Amino acid sequence: MKSVWQRLRRLLCLAAVTLSATAAEDFLDEVQDFLSFSARDTQWRGRLSGALDLEGYRVQLPAPGVLGTKDGSLLESRLTVFLDAQLGSQVYLFAQARADHGFDPGEGPGQLRLDEVAVRYAPWGRNQPTVQVGRFATAVGNWANRHDSWTNPFITAPLPYELLTGIWDTDAVRSSTALLQWAHIRPGLPAAQTALEKSLRVPIVWGPSYADGVSLFGGAGRVNYVFEGKLGSLSSRPEAWQRGREQLTHPTLSARVTFRPNQMWQLGLSASTGSYLREFAARGIPAGYGRGDYRQEVLAHDLAFAWHHWQVWAEAYASRFTIPRLGDADVFAYYTEVKYKFTPQLSGAVRWNQQLYGTIPDRGSRTRWGQEVWRVDVAPGYRFSPHTQLKLQYGLQHGDSGRRDTTRTLATQFTVRF
């Protein structure tokens, strides 16, 4: 473990010194220009850009959220390449390809994925109804549009986007005892399933939820709207995004409305409904029910504020997982992030997260079906140049599990943007 951190420290120092030089800034500007191209008298334009992320994590086991490490230490590298292309004034195309060890930081084998590819058609121009088809981030909430490593002041996602609930998407819940075991409220989960549970449990929203789908959006005055139909519920995992055909018969419908009274404020309201079970989970569904009866229903409210060197974001998610013959499993999560730029290069951010659970019928009474958690994250960041930045994050998480109530996470991320 020590050698991993020494290696990471050396790499970060070397990269920071090398890439913060003015010459490197000019070079990366030239790379950006070189990766831009145009045709048809600049009416068709394209640009490749990207980011190289080097991350290190040191966590107390079991690793929190969607992090995948067995020994509490993890070194992750990720190359992301974006394509943005504008074809005239009506057609816009974008794509995101990533090379890493899995969508979430982990110890899996290297892989190359196309996380996003979509085309947008705006026949009537600005603010008018626009249609988008492909694989893209959900419009629900306000985190997805600022989740990339350069923009996001933190390294990990807020709690609603990464804290795993007791709900599995791989099997239908058949009793309150099963759900309470899956959620670690009641002992008795077989050891084999405990080892695999990160590949079984789902959060309220899995990251930016890059599922396949179609969306219609536009604006009227200070109000913008989005309607979205996707092949994957908000809680669906990255493996499911790549297998959208599984959900063809059970698409997820979402909508979002935002109101921007002025440049400082933005208020958003989102709603979503769709089946959270994977196709192969259908075999465990009781007779008389179908996957469509296992729904995730979400209502979310979000707020964003910015003024001078302050930025504030907040979101609240109320999610209901419907379980036939058992009832509704409700979970509520919220967070508030505040970022302040102390100098042109130094910034700091603080985030407060909390996730709370409702109760389910259990042996003649009602039992809370999840471990309530709060977490505070502190993240200083430093930009060496317009193309390089270093972030640190310290997270303190407290759960009411009774095993180990408080866990700490230390993370660092160095990003080169080109």
Partner 1 sequence: MRVMMRIGAEWRRATRVAVTGLLLSATAVAATIEGRVVLPKARSAPVVNQRYEIVTKAGVLSTNPPVAIVYVEGEFPRPQVQPVTQIRQKDLTFIPSLLPVQVGTKVEFPNFDDTYHNIFSFSPAKRFDLGRYRSDEKPVPSQIFDEAGLVTLRCDIHEHMRALILVLATPHFVITDAAGGFKLAGLPAGRFTVKAWVDSKTIREQLVDLPPGDATLRVDFP
Residues that bind partner 1 (CB under 8 A): 22, 25-26, 29, 33, 36-38, 42-43, 45-47, 49, 82, 84-86, 88-90, 92, 94, 96, 116, 120, 122, 125-127, 130, 136-137, 139, 144-146, 217-219, 224-226, 258, 262-264, 306-309, 311, 341, 343-345, 383, 385-386, 417
* Minimal distance, residue 319 CB to partner 1, in Å: 22
Question: Residue 31 Cβ, how far from partner 1 at the closest point, in Å?
Answer: 13
Compare residues 14 and 264 and give the one whose CB is closer to partner 1.
Answer: 264
Residues 6+ apart with CB under 8 A from 386: 25, 28, 417
Q: Which is nearer to partner 1, 146 or 368 (CB)?
A: 146
Q: How far is the CB of 38 from partner 1 (least distance, A)?
A: 4
Other residues' Cβ atoms within 10 Å of the Cβ of residue 358:
16
- Which of residues 6 and 89 has its CB atom nearest to partner 1 in the complex? 89
Q: Which amino acid is at 128?
A: Q
Q: What CA dihedral angle connects 196, 200, 206 and 210, to 10 degrees? A: 100
| Of residues 127 and 249, the one with the C-beta less far from partner 1 | 127
What are all long-range contacts of 301-305, with beta carbons under 8 Å and residues at least 24 apart?
Answer: 301/267, 301/268, 301/269, 301/270, 302/141, 302/142, 302/267, 302/268, 302/269, 302/270, 303/142, 303/265, 303/266, 303/267, 303/268, 304/142, 304/265, 304/266, 304/268, 305/264, 305/265, 305/266
Q: Which is nearer to partner 1, 127 or 194 (CB)?
A: 127
Please, what is the minimum distance in Å from the beta carbon of residue 198 to partner 1? 27
| 415 token code pair | 């990003």
d(CA 285, CA 291): 8
Q: CB 386 → partner 1: shortest distance, Å?
A: 5
HSE-up (13 A, CA, CB side) for residue 56: 18
Shortest distance, position 266 Cβ to partner 1, whole Å: 10
Nearer to partner 1, 88 or 292 (CB): 88
Q: What are phi and psi of 2, to 5 degrees?
A: -65, -40
Minimum Å distance from CB 92 to partner 1?
6
- If the CB atoms of residues 344 and 402 are measured against partner 1, the closer one turns out to be 344
Give the nearer residue to partner 1 in terms of CB position, either 33 or 283. 33
Alpha-carbon distance of 93 to 122, in angstroms, equals: 11
Complete DSSP assignment for 16-42: HHHHTSHHHHHHHHHHHHHTEEEETTT
And the tokens for 119? 């085309």
Minimal distance, residue 312 CB to partner 1, in Å: 12
Q: How far apart are CA 71 and CA 375, in angstroms?
A: 22
Identify the H or E element spanning 271: strand 265-275
User: β-strand 406-417 against 130-135: which pairing, if any?
Assistant: unpaired
Q: Which residue's CB is nearer to partner 1, number 18 or number 194? A: 18
Least gap, CB of 32 to partner 1 (angstroms): 9
How far is the C-alpha of 339 from the C-alpha of 348, rounded, in Å?
A: 6
